[in-house]
Structures are given as C-alpha cells and as structure tokens.
Structure 1
Amino acid sequence: MEYEFWNLTIDRSKSRNAVCHMLTQAAEYQGWELERLRRDVTGKRTVRLRRKIIRLRSTL
C-alpha cells in the first residue's frame, strides 16, 4: 500500500476546536487520515496526515 503525506504545522493561537474542525474537514472531504499529532512545549502542533494512493491498472 502506498500513501501520500501532508505535514502541517499549526500555530498555538488556533483553538482546539478550530484544529479539530479543520482536520475533520480534510478527512471527510479529501480522504486524509490522521497519522500523528504532536504538541511541543511551546504549544505548536505538528500534524502528519496520510491518504492512500490509488493507481488504476491498464487493461490493454
């Protein structure tokens, strides 16, 4: 299985609800799933999303 990844850095000024809403929208409408979410000591969030790469096979 092959995946593509999207790495995000979210500033600490964003509320937890805003981040949750943003990640939910990415999952629901774009097919992303959460692989990892880390929060450092300064409050900055580092998010890694992934989604499957679907390759179509030629039948010729």
Structure 2
Amino acid sequence: MGLIERRPPRDGVEWEFDEVSFSSDLSRSAVRQLLVERAEYGGWTLDRLRIGRDGRRQVLLRRKIIRAQRTA
C-alpha cells in the first residue's frame, strides 16, 4: 500500500513512516474510516496530510519503533 522508511533516531525515539495515497473519488468519511482502522489496529498516528490540486490525498503516518532491551 505504501512506502515504509525509517528515519534516524532523534532524542532516543525512532519512528517508522508509511506513506499512503487516496484518490479523489473517495469521500472524506471513507478516508477517515480507513485511517481510523490503521490507527486502531496498526498503532499509526497522522504525521502529515497533503491534498493535491486534483483532490488526491497523500497521507504520511508514523509509529514508534519499540526496541526490546535484553536484561542481564
């Protein structure tokens, strides 16, 4: 669905990003519902939303990468 990339850690927090595009023929409520499902089941939060001149929505989602630390 989207392109996943990793940005370098900043202040000890590492984020994973996912870019998703929605066509202009999808209604606002349909896009909202799809994003809500990704948030609830995938742990994603909205980072950026851009609406193009043609009405296409480009959404950048992010979530924290939680690294398990080994205990001694």
TM over 0.5: yes
Instruction: Write 1 or 2 for the structure with the bigger share of helix.
Output: 1
**Which structure 1 residue ranges, 4+ long, deviate > 6 Å from structure 2?**
none
- Report the counterpart of residue 45 of structure 2 in structure 1: 33
- Report the counterpart of residue 9 of structure 2 in structure 1: none
Gaps of 5+ in 2: 1-12
Gaps of 5+ in 1: none
Percent identity between the aligned chains? Answer: 47
Counterpart AA for 2:66: I
Counterpart AA for 2:14: E
- How many angstroms apart in 1 are the aligned matches of 2:42 and 2:19? 15
TM-score, structure 2 normalization: 0.80
Residue 67 of structure 2 corresponds to residue 45 of structure 1: no
